[in-house]
Structure 1
Amino acid sequence: MGAASSRLEKALGEQFPEGERYFGLENFGNTCYCNSVLQALYFCVPFREQLLEYYANNKSASDGEENMLTCLADLFSQISNQKKKTGVIAPKRFIQRLKKQNELFRSYMHQDAHEFLNFLLNELVDILEKECKANKEPSQNSSSNKTSNGPSNGQPNGSHKEPDTTWVHKCFQGILTNQTKCLRCETVTDRDETFLDLSLDIEQNSSITSCLKNFSSTETLNAEDKFFCDKCCSLQEAQKRMKIKKQPNILVIHLKRFKYIEQLGRYKKLTYRVVFPLELKLMNTVDNSDLEYSLFAVLVHVGSGPNHGHYISVVKSHNHWLFFDDETVEMTDESMVQTFFGSAQEFSGNTDNGYILFYESVAKTS
């Protein structure tokens, strides 16, 4: 990195808090999909703080089995404890564990950053839920021998019990509600489902706001798609729409830039221009709440197709934007974010397109 590194070091020293670290990640052969996601997650401050707290509380348990969570926590701890403000770290242990854990990521072929993010977050949730369950069992066994004067909170065998909410859930999880209205009796049926990210269909010359509006647009169910109404006890025409019931603290939006084209018999990348604002207000919520979000990271796919290309990330840290391209770390300007909106033309030489967006909720000041 040489002179560029020393210039960055000077700029970081002048404009950033003493404790922050900005490290590039070594590429182990088409692992840019992983590096770009890791940078976005590192600069997701609530997630990073929880992960480092987990590491501090569990690093003494050296006899525990290594997993994706311990490897990620170890990597983030390495970065945060570096003496220098900037440099390069090799996430070798994490990559080795990833390949061991999931055969999808074992080859040196181009991988999808969204698939990796999905796998990683769900894997962390599984590990934390198992640990929580294991920690509860000894206390439950010991308490079962005691006499209780109050009502029992125990669950009978076979009954439904809500899963434990982990700190990953607290960061990323929201709730969608699928509202279906029978057009005969006008009964509305709500069905909830959780999400860790929202995948949005995109159109040419659109915006995140319009994509979210389309996501929650009303769809009529008729002909062969009629809805079985429990009140009418028969198939009926109905209207349905999806709305956000609980907004996540960290909103992750995945733009569906890869579309299967039947005529071509393969997936094609959509380089459509989709504007994503620095500040976002969700309009498609059940309670019409006015929670606002601020953009802090953008994962960018560079290339013309889904099976080849490159991933980079731009992140916001302490009101400054930085550019991460594997080992390279550079300060950049807010205006750079706009260059990743996409192209207004169907065929364009600009293939650097925003692919995954990370927004954090902003506390409103009274």
Structure 2
Amino acid sequence: MGSVNSTGNKWERTLAADLPEDEKYFGLENFGNTCYCNSVLQALYFCEPFRKAVLDYAGERRISQSVAVETTEAASSASETMLTALADLFTQIATQKKRTGTVPPKSFVSKLREENELFSSYMHQDAHEFLNFILNNAPPNGLLSNSTYDKLSGDEISSKTFVHDLFEGQLSNEVRCLCCETVTRRVESFFDLSVDVEQNSSLTACLRSFSSTELLEKQDKFFCDACCSLQEAERRMRIKKLPRVLALHLKRFKYIDQLGKYKKLSYRVVFPLELRLCNTSDDAEDPDRLYSLFAVVVHVGSGPNQGHYVSLIKSHGQWLMFDDDCVEPKDESEIQSVYGITQDNAQSTEAGYILFYEQKS
């Protein structure tokens, strides 16, 4: 991204002029290899409905613990989880008296390493794998918005969390038999979408490719229940339910058979500040929903097993770069520098890796 001259002075001017006094902008200390964790945590913290849900959970937990003490029950009855560790970290940031500074997320990282062996080593880790782990490990009695809660049955309430409320979408996997024209649909849930990337393309083109029609033939024929036999068929994926927060993972690490290892694809992929999905199903609700980009997790480096992660965050109209414990303002035009590289310009290794969009009200 390059450095900003007089970063400190520009940062203070930005804070005073453009950003609300009650908002906190704290970098996170890196414990050797935890940039993958820090970059995603910043994106989640500045996802306002996610932050509110986590802080609300923290408040409810404090109340329940106080009641437990008053009634001589065990105050530690609520066991430590990834969510309680996350709630403690978010609370630590939100209650700081200063507007800027650094927080050491030591307790959170310790809990993470305890819960998942994948992150227990000090080797380079993958930010997308960490995001998946966080979103899939909210406890089943998590927080729901009232509108979602009212629509659910008792069994559904026990398994849905505020993560589902915000990030969950649905894919319709559609297979059309080319013999009898019968269409078979299977609905699958997702918290983020992983899309393949191509050189000199756009996010919209990547999404179109994600939902392109695939011919099932030869050894890949589809068993059609109507025909009671294997038949040639066409398959495609469409987005049936659009999430409130859309997380898009650009698949920049690909296994190359000839090399016998993974390689980073630093291809130039242009992604817009505002997005409408082009690959929704015919029965999707609000298919023209407009999304606004608010965070980008960027991978810096030439390969999948080395490098660094930073995050670009939009807060109250101002773009900022969070590079572990360093925070500095950025101009919106600088987002273009993390699209990736063209074949004739291999100087930069900065490439957008995870994109976070929120629906515009």
Contact 1:99/1:105 (<8 A) preserved: yes
Alpha-carbon shift at residue 18 of structure 1 (Å) = 1.8
Contact 2:168/2:191 (<8 A) preserved: yes
Alpha-carbon shift at residue 347 of structure 1 (Å) = 6.7
User: Matches of 2:133 and 2:154 in 1, distance apart?
Assistant: 32
2:146 alignment partner in structure 1: none
Contact 1:316/1:322 (<8 A) preserved: yes
TM-score (norm 2): 0.89
Specify which of 266, 274, 281 is matched with residue 269 of structure 2: 274
2:193 alignment partner in structure 1: 198
User: Matches of 2:310 and 2:170 in 1, distance apart?
Assistant: 29
Specify which of 70, 73, 79 is matched with residue 93 of structure 2: 79
Specify which of 58, 62, 66 is matched with residue 80 of structure 2: 66
Alpha-carbon shift at residue 19 of structure 1 (Å) = 1.5
1:135 alignment partner in structure 2: none
User: Matches of 2:344 and 2:89 in 1, distance apart?
Assistant: 41
C-alpha distance after superposition, 1:152-200 (max 9, x if no partner): x988xxxxx7863211101100000000011111110100000000000
> Is 9-18 or 285-294 further displaced after alignment?
9-18
The change in CA–CA distance for 1:96 and 1:225 in structure 2 (over 3 A counts) is: same
Q: SS of the counterpart of 2:137? A: helix
Alpha-carbon shift at residue 11 of structure 1 (Å) = 2.5
User: Matches of 1:195 and 1:325 in 2, distance apart?
Assistant: 28
User: Matches of 1:162 and 1:13 in 2, distance apart?
Assistant: 43
User: Matches of 2:135 and 2:205 in 1, distance apart?
Assistant: 27
User: Matches of 1:100 and 1:27 in 2, distance apart?
Assistant: 18
Specify which of 218, 237, 251 is matched with residue 242 of structure 1: 237
User: Matches of 2:338 and 2:104 in 1, distance apart?
Assistant: 27
Contact 1:9/1:86 (<8 A) preserved: no
Aligned-partner residue type, residue 333 of structure 1: D
User: What CA RMSD, in Å, does the superposition of the two structures yield over aligned residues?
Assistant: 1.8
Aligned-partner residue type, residue 332 of structure 1: K
User: Matches of 1:341 and 1:131 in 2, distance apart?
Assistant: 35
Percent identical? 60
2:72 alignment partner in structure 1: none
Q: Structure 1 regions of 5+ residues with no counterpart? A: 133-152, 156-160
1:149 alignment partner in structure 2: none
User: Does 2:203 correspond to 1:189?
Assistant: no
2:26 alignment partner in structure 1: 23
Alpha-carbon shift at residue 315 of structure 1 (Å) = 0.3
**Number of matched pairs:** 333
Contact 1:202/1:274 (<8 A) preserved: yes
User: Does 2:165 correspond to 1:170?
Assistant: yes
Alpha-carbon shift at residue 65 of structure 1 (Å) = 1.2
Alpha-carbon shift at residue 283 of structure 1 (Å) = 1.1
User: Matches of 1:278 and 1:5 in 2, distance apart?
Assistant: 27
1:359 alignment partner in structure 2: 357
Alpha-carbon shift at residue 340 of structure 1 (Å) = 0.3
Alpha-carbon shift at residue 42 of structure 1 (Å) = 0.5
C-alpha distance after superposition, 1:264-323 (max 9, x if no partner): 110000010000000110011013620111000000000000000000000001111001
Aligned-partner residue type, residue 322 of structure 1: L
> Which of these two proteins has the greater Rg computed from alpha carbons?
1
Alpha-carbon shift at residue 17 of structure 1 (Å) = 1.2
Q: SS of the counterpart of 1:212? A: helix
1:94 alignment partner in structure 2: 108
Alpha-carbon shift at residue 9 of structure 1 (Å) = 3.5
Aligned pairs (5 A) from 1:3-42 = 4-5=7-8, 7-42=10-45
1:258 alignment partner in structure 2: 253
2:206 alignment partner in structure 1: 211
1:142 alignment partner in structure 2: none
Aligned-partner residue type, residue 89 of structure 1: V
Contact 1:244/1:284 (<8 A) preserved: yes
User: Matches of 1:340 and 1:154 in 2, distance apart?
Assistant: 45
Specify which of 343, 347, 357 is matched with residue 349 of structure 1: 347
1:179 alignment partner in structure 2: 174
Contact 2:141/2:160 (<8 A) preserved: no
Aligned pairs (5 A) from 1:33-52 = 33-52=36-55
The change in CA–CA distance for 1:261 and 1:78 in structure 2 (over 3 A counts) is: same
Contact 1:300/1:353 (<8 A) preserved: yes
Q: SS of the counterpart of 2:159? A: coil
Contact 1:282/1:290 (<8 A) preserved: yes
> Is 284-293 or 202-211 further displaced after alignment?
284-293
Aligned-partner residue type, residue 328 of structure 1: C
The change in CA–CA distance for 1:343 and 1:175 in structure 2 (over 3 A counts) is: same
The change in CA–CA distance for 1:202 and 1:98 in structure 2 (over 3 A counts) is: same
